[in-house]
Amino acid sequence: MVDQTERRAPNRRATVQPVTPGQRAEQAARTGGEPTLEFADMVPYDAYVQASALHKMQHPLSSDPGEMSFLMVSQIMELYFGLTCHELRETQRLIRADQIWEALAPLGRAKLHLEGLNAAWQGLRWMSPADFNRFRNLLGEASGFQSAMYRQLEFLLGLRDSTLIRPFRRQAEVHAALSAALTTPSLWDDVLALLARRGFDLPDDLLDRDVAVEHDPHPLVEAAWVRIYDDASPDNHLRLLGEALSAVAEEFGDWRWNHVKAVQRTMGAKVGSGGSAGLAWLQRSMARVVFPELWSARTAM
């Protein structure tokens, strides 16, 4: 059976045609610099961005005008989760190939995407408990806790808990993707393997452990980062990698803290929509640190 994306692809390829700089110059000369207003098919921008499809994906459950903000900001965050995962997977690919300098670019983009993710919270700062309560009950058990793409992001960053994929058991494709992510080395696992290849003394039981289990901080990993940071030369790419990873971890931590603040502001310590303890559950989850030895090593520097 032909996949839906495969059916759409030919039309998209037919609509979004490559254009050379010379062709652009000729077009501008013909139109006197005015934009093109006639197209044989759908507008190329719409064919590429799928804007028409994006703006049909909002289906509020109430007539409350504020719900649209809540829904669309949630969708924007989902897109940022996916984009950040894309950059971190590219980082992994390059680190596995020992291309540390090249890995800094996708890591830098991931940090900027996380900044955008954090900025999205600003679109909900207007929401008071009364505002949220006008439509909250209509959401039923729907909760951000159930975001599969957020789980993908956590797994990539090394925060791993196999119980958190259970809600997706009846969504076979989503569950399979999460199971695969859980049993694939995280970005931090790949960094540890890189350190071992670069001659740092890391034990085999750390490098060959079950990656589905969350990594426990190890003193030899901390010692490796102390040594790396002791070399301040500009060609110390491992030190640059450490700083880029730290920036990503900081932005991710900011997102988790912003989530806590948003819950405090809109619902206090009420039970969460997904059945958790809500605020208390989020606060406990923040104790799990991303790239832990990068932070503990700073005490010994």
Residue type at 15 in one-letter notation? T
Measured CA distances, 123 to 66, 72, 132, 191 (Å): 11, 9, 14, 35
- In angstroms, the CA 148 to CA 71 distance is 16
Is 298 annotated as belonging to a binding site?
A: no
What is the crossing angle of helices 219-230 and 187-197, to 10°? 70
CB atoms closer than 10 angstroms to residue 207: 13
- In angstroms, the CA 272 to CA 267 distance is 9
Is 259 annotated as belonging to a binding site?
A: yes
- In angstroms, the CA 153 to CA 83 distance is 10
**Angle, vertex CA 278, rays to CA 272 and CA 281, nearest 5:** 140
- In angstroms, the CA 270 to CA 278 distance is 6
CB atoms closer than 10 angstroms to residue 289: 15
- In angstroms, the CA 109 to CA 94 distance is 14
Residue type at 97 in one-letter notation? A
With the C-alpha atoms ordered 2, 179, 296, 259, is the resulting torsion angle positive or negative?
A: positive
Output the known binding site.
136, 259
Output the known binding site for heme.
259
Output the known binding site for substrate.
136
